[in-house]
Amino acid sequence: MSSQVRFRRRGISVAWMQHYTSTAPT
């Protein structure tokens, strides 16, 4: 279960970063 939680957390982090970069001004 720990592995799944870690993977899920990583996926969320990536999605958050992508969203932040997408909304961030260029």
Structure tokens at 21: 């970069």
Q: Total domain count for the chain?
A: 1
Q: What's the pLDDT score for residue 21?
A: 78
Band of residue 18 on the pLDDT scale cut at 50, 70, 90: confident
Per the structure, the complete domain to which residue 20 belongs is given by: 1-26
Is the pLDDT at 20 greater than 70? The verdict is yes
Average pLDDT over residues 12-25: 76
DSSP per position, the chain: -HHHHHHHHHHHHHHHHHHHHHHS--
Average pLDDT over residues 11-26: 74
